Copies of this chain bind each other. A is one copy, B any other.
Amino acid sequence: MAARLGDMTQIRFALAQIDTCVGDLAGNAAKVLDYTRRAAGEHARVVVFPEMTLTGYPIEDLALRRTFRQAAWNQANELAAALAAEGLGGLYVAVGTVGTDPETSKPRNRMVVLHEGVVWAGYDKHFLPNYGVFDEFRIFSAGDRSVVIDVDGARIGVAICEDIWQDGGPVAELAERGIDLLLTMNGSPYEEGKTHTRMELAVRRAREVGAPLIYLNQVGGQDDLIFDGGSFVVDSDGTLLERSPMFMEDLSYFTLDTDAARQTPTSIAADLDPDEEVYTACVLGLKDYMRKNGFKGVTLGLSGGIDSALVAAMAADACGGGNVWGISMPSMYSSDGSKDDAADLAANLGAHYDIQPIEPLFAAFQSQLALEGVAAENLQARIRGVIVMAYSNAKGLLALATGNKSELACGYSTIYGDAVGGYAPIKDLLKTRVWELARWRNKAAAAGMGIGGLAVVGNERRDAGVPLPDGVMIPVNSIVKAPSAELRPGQKDSDSLPEYGLLDRVLSAYIEHAHGRADLLADGFDEATVDTVMRLVDRAEWKRRQYPLGPKVTALAFGRDRRLPVTTAFRE
C-alpha cells in the first residue's frame, strides 16, 4: 500500500522467500497466489519472489522444450488473471519465469511483473553464469536492456542474480539512470561462507546505485543443490536493514521511504553456528529431495560406524525416525561393538531395525567364485548393496549411500556396494567434518533438540521435535572409535589412508582449492603424503568418472574439476 503523507512516499515490499519445485508450474503459481494473499493482508504494495519462480530453478535443458515454455507462458497469464480476480491486481508481483528471445527463439531467464491482470513485458537476465554448477549461457540468450518500474512515482530498478555479481551491464546502467531501490531476485546455491560474500557484494551494488537493495533468494533443495534463503535488504550506505532466516520459507517485509536519506531497519535473523548451518543444509537437501520425488521413507545400512550414524540422524531429522529403515548387515569381521552401536542408534532414533547377516550369502557366492583380496572385500560390500536395494524396491524407500568425501575422494569405497543409493547426504563432507557434525548434533540433542526439531529446516519454526530418550542421538562409541571398513580381520582405515586430520587438510587443498603438487609442498605437506594422496585421488577420480556413483550432494564442489574426460593420460 503506497501512502503519501505530505512529501513522503512509503512503499511496502514483501520478501517472499519460497521453495519452488522445478517443472511444477501449477504448484509454484499456487504458492505465489498464497503468499501474495498473505502479503496483501499485511499491506504490501510489491511482492518479490525468487529467480524463475514459476518454472523452478535451475531448469537445465527443460528450458529448451518449446512445450514447456508455452506452458510457462500460459501459467503466468492465468496467474495474473487469478490475482486480479481475487482483488490483488493492484499489487506489483515480481516473479521469475522462462521467456523466449523473439529474434532467435532461444529461452531467456526472465522477470515479469503481474499487475492489474496483465503480465508486464519483463526484464531478461543479462549476465548468464557459465562456470561451476551453472550452465546458463548454454541454455539462455542474454537480455540487453535495463528496466525501471514505476511504483507510485518511485523508480524501482531490477536485476537477476548474476547481474549483480559482474561489473557493468544493467546495474551500471541503472546507476546512471537513477533509481530509488534495486530489486534483485536470486537463485544462489548454498556454500559454506557465501553469506558473507553475498552481503559484501550487495553493499557494493547498493553504494553504486545510491539506493537500498533487496536481495531475495530462493530456499530449498533441488537435486544436488541447496538454496539457503537468507534474503536481506541493505541500505545505500551498507547498513543491514532486514535479514530473513536461512533454510526455510519466509515472508518478511521492508518499507521504503523514498524521501528519507536512510531507511529504518526491521527484523534481522540471527546467525547460525557453522556446524548447525552445514548440518541443516544437508537435512534440507535430503528432505526436499524426498518430498519433490515422492519418497516417504529411506533405507540404509547401519554399520555402527560414524558415517551411517550421521546419515541416519540426518534422515530422522528429515523424515522422522519411524520412516527410517536401518539394516545391520554384519559379517564375520564385524565387531560386537559395531553391532551394538548400530542397534543403539536405531533405538535412539525410533527407526526400524533389521539384522541381515551376510555370512551365509558370502559363503554361497564364495563356494562358486572363491575370490581373494580386494575382490573378496568388494563382494561383501556388494552383497550389502543388493540387500539395501531389495528393501528399497520392496518397500518403495529411497536408498541412501553413506560415503563421506574423504573416502570417496580416495577411492575407499566399493562401486555397486556401499556406494549404492539414490542420494548421498554426506558425500560432500570430509571425514573430520562428519565427526564435528555428529558432535554438534549430540550437543543440540543434549540441549533438548529432539528429532526433526531443527531450528529452521523446511517450514517449521524451532520446536523441540520428537524427544530423544536419553538426550543422545548418535552413540558416543560411533564417534570415538577408530574407523574401520571391517572387511577383513583387524582392518583399520589407517592401514590404507593417512590419518584423517592430515588427509582432510591435504584433500581440502588438493581437490577443493585446486593446489597442484608444487603448491601442496609449499603448503608444508611432506612429499610422501602428497604423493600418496595425489595417487589415491587421481585413481579414484578416474574410477568415479568411469562409474558415476550417484547424485552430487551439496553446492560444495566435490573435486577439483566439474567435468573431466574419463580417458585422459594427464596426471597432476
Asked if B416 and A68 make an inter-chain contact with CB atoms under 8 angstroms apart, the answer reads: no
Q: Which A398-416 residues sit within 8 Å CB-CB of chain B? A: 415-416
Asked if B516 and A67 make an inter-chain contact with CB atoms under 8 angstroms apart, the answer reads: yes
Smallest distance from the beta carbon of A326 to chain B beta carbons, Å?
Answer: 16
Asked if A390 and B416 make an inter-chain contact with CB atoms under 8 angstroms apart, the answer reads: no
Asked if B60 and A565 make an inter-chain contact with CB atoms under 8 angstroms apart, the answer reads: yes
What residues of B have a CB within 8 angstroms of the CB of A62 in the complex? 561, 564-565, 568, 570
Give CA–CA (A385, B416) in the complex, Å. 9
A387-B369, A389-B382 known; A293 and B394 CB under 8 Å?
no
What residues of B have a CB within 8 angstroms of the CB of A547 in the complex? 422, 550
Give CA–CA (A570, B63) in the complex, Å. 11
State the copy count for this chain. 2
- Taking the complex as formed, is A386 at the interface, i.e. its CB lies under 8 A from any CB of chain B? yes
Q: Closest B-chain residue to A288, C-beta based? A: B567
Q: Which of B416, B550, B562 contacts A61 (CB 8 A)?
A: B562
What residues of B have a CB within 8 angstroms of the CB of A24 in the complex? 568-570
- Taking the complex as formed, is A379 at the interface, i.e. its CB lies under 8 A from any CB of chain B? yes
Give CA–CA (A262, B361) in the complex, Å. 75
Asked if B64 and A567 make an inter-chain contact with CB atoms under 8 angstroms apart, the answer reads: no
What residues of B have a CB within 8 angstroms of the CB of A61 in the complex? 561-564
Asked if B364 and A64 make an inter-chain contact with CB atoms under 8 angstroms apart, the answer reads: no
- Taking the complex as formed, is A264 at the interface, i.e. its CB lies under 8 A from any CB of chain B? no
Encoded as 1 (CB less than 8 Å from any B CB) or 0, chain A from 366 to 402 comes to 0111011011001100110111011001100000000
Q: Which A546-567 residues sit within 8 Å CB-CB of chain B? A: 546-551, 560-567
What residues of B have a CB within 8 angstroms of the CB of A368 in the complex? 356-357, 360-361, 387
- Taking the complex as formed, is A27 at the interface, i.e. its CB lies under 8 A from any CB of chain B? yes
Q: Closest B-chain residue to A367, C-beta based? A: B360
What residues of B have a CB within 8 angstroms of the CB of A165 in the complex? none
Asked if A27 and B569 make an inter-chain contact with CB atoms under 8 angstroms apart, the answer reads: yes
Number of interface residues of A (CB under 8 A): 79
- Taking the complex as formed, is A25 at the interface, i.e. its CB lies under 8 A from any CB of chain B? yes
Smallest distance from the beta carbon of A460 to chain B beta carbons, Å?
Answer: 21
What residues of B have a CB within 8 angstroms of the CB of A516 in the complex? 65-67
Give CA–CA (A571, B137) in the complex, Å. 24
Q: Which of B23, B27, B66, B365 contacts A565 (CB 8 A)?
A: B23
Give CA–CA (A189, B528) in the complex, Å. 42
Asked if A568 and B390 make an inter-chain contact with CB atoms under 8 angstroms apart, the answer reads: no
Give CA–CA (A27, B387) in the complex, Å. 45
Asked if A23 and B568 make an inter-chain contact with CB atoms under 8 angstroms apart, the answer reads: yes
Asked if B56 and A568 make an inter-chain contact with CB atoms under 8 angstroms apart, the answer reads: yes
What residues of B have a CB within 8 angstroms of the CB of A292 in the complex? 567, 569
What residues of B have a CB within 8 angstroms of the CB of A25 in the complex? 569-570
Asked if B369 and A565 make an inter-chain contact with CB atoms under 8 angstroms apart, the answer reads: no
- Taking the complex as formed, is A218 at the interface, i.e. its CB lies under 8 A from any CB of chain B? no
Q: Closest B-chain residue to A569, C-beta based? A: B24
Q: Which of B60, B357, B372, B393 contacts A374 (CB 8 A)?
A: B393
Asked if B22 and A563 make an inter-chain contact with CB atoms under 8 angstroms apart, the answer reads: no
Using A289-B567, A379-B390 as known contacts, list a sample of 8 further A-B pairs with CB atoms less than 8 Å apart, ordered by residue number in A.
Answer: A22-B569, A59-B565, A62-B565, A65-B516, A223-B565, A365-B387, A369-B390, A551-B566
Closest 7 CB pairs of A and B: A23-B570, A23-B568, A24-B569, A548-B548, A61-B561, A375-B393, A364-B364
Show the binding face of A for B, using Cβ within 8 Å: 21-25, 27, 56, 58-62, 64-68, 71, 130-131, 135, 137-138, 222-223, 288-289, 292-293, 356-357, 360-361, 364-365, 367-369, 371-372, 374-375, 378-379, 382-383, 385-387, 389-390, 393-394, 415-416, 420, 422, 514, 516, 542, 546-551, 560-572
19 contacts between A and B (CB under 8 A): A22-B570, A25-B570, A56-B565, A59-B565, A60-B561, A65-B514, A65-B572, A71-B570, A292-B569, A361-B368, A365-B390, A368-B387, A369-B390, A378-B390, A379-B386, A386-B386, A548-B548, A548-B550, A548-B551
